[in-house]
C-alpha cells in the first residue's frame, strides 16, 4: 500500500549494541515524526522533520539517540549502546498538512 512503512517490524538486540530503525513516509509528505511508546504508556515525541528545515530534536531522551532524513524522504533512527529501558515500539508518522499517519511501528526488545 501507500502508507508509512517501517522496518524492521521486530528487533531483539543485546544490551550495548547499536540499532537502526527505518521509516519510509507516505510519498509527498513533507513532515516526518518519530514517537516512542512503552508498554501501557502514552506516545512520547522524539524528533520532527519538516522539509529541508533543521529537525526539532527536543524529544530525544539522550545523546545515544539520533535520527536523519535523507533527501526529504526516508528517515533512520539510530540508538547507540542500547539499554533495557529503550525497549518499546518506535512509531514513525508522516503528514502533509495537519493530519498525521502512522506506520505499524518497530518493536524493539533489548535483552
Q: Binding residues for another protein, per CB under 8 A?
A: 31, 33, 35, 41-43, 45, 48, 50, 56, 91, 95, 98-105
Q: Which is nearer to another protein, 33 or 65 (CB)?
A: 33
Task: Say if residues 108 and 20 touch (Cβ distance below 8 Å).
Answer: no
- 89/110 with CB nearer another protein: 89
Among residues 74 and 100, whose Cβ is nearest to another protein? 100
Q: Which residue shows C-alpha cell 539517540?
A: 65
Written as one string, the DSSP assignment of 93-109 is EEESSS-EEE---EEEE
The C-alpha atoms of residue 83 and residue 16 are separated, in whole angstroms, by: 6
Q: Which neighbouring-strand residues pair with 95?
A: 31, 100
CB 6 to another protein: min, Å: 9
Task: Report, in Å, the least distance between residue 94 CB and another protein.
Answer: 12
Pairing label, strands 31-37, 43-50:
antiparallel
27 vs 99, beta carbon nearer another protein: 99
As measured in angstroms, the least distance from the Cβ of 8 to another protein is 15
Amino acid at each position: 500500500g501507500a502508507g508509512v512503512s517501517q522496518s524492521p517490524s521486530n528487533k531483539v538486540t543485546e544490551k550495548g549494541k547499536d540499532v537502526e530503525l527505518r521509516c519510509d513516509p507516505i510519498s509527498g509528505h513533507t513532515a516526518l515524526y518519530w514517537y516512542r511508546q512503552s508498554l501501557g504508556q502514552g506516545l512520547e515525541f522524539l524528533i520532527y522533520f519538516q522539509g529541508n528545515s533543521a529537525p526539532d530534536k527536543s524529544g530525544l531522551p539522550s545523546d545515544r539517540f539520533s535520527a536523519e532524513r535523507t533527501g526529504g524522504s526516508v528517515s533512520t533512527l539510530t540508538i547507540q549502546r542500547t539499554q533495557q529501558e529503550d525497549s518499546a515500539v518506535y512509531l514513525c508518522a508522516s503528514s502533509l498538512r495537519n493530519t498525521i499517519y502512522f506506520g505499524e511501528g518497530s518493536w524493539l526488545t533489548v535483552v
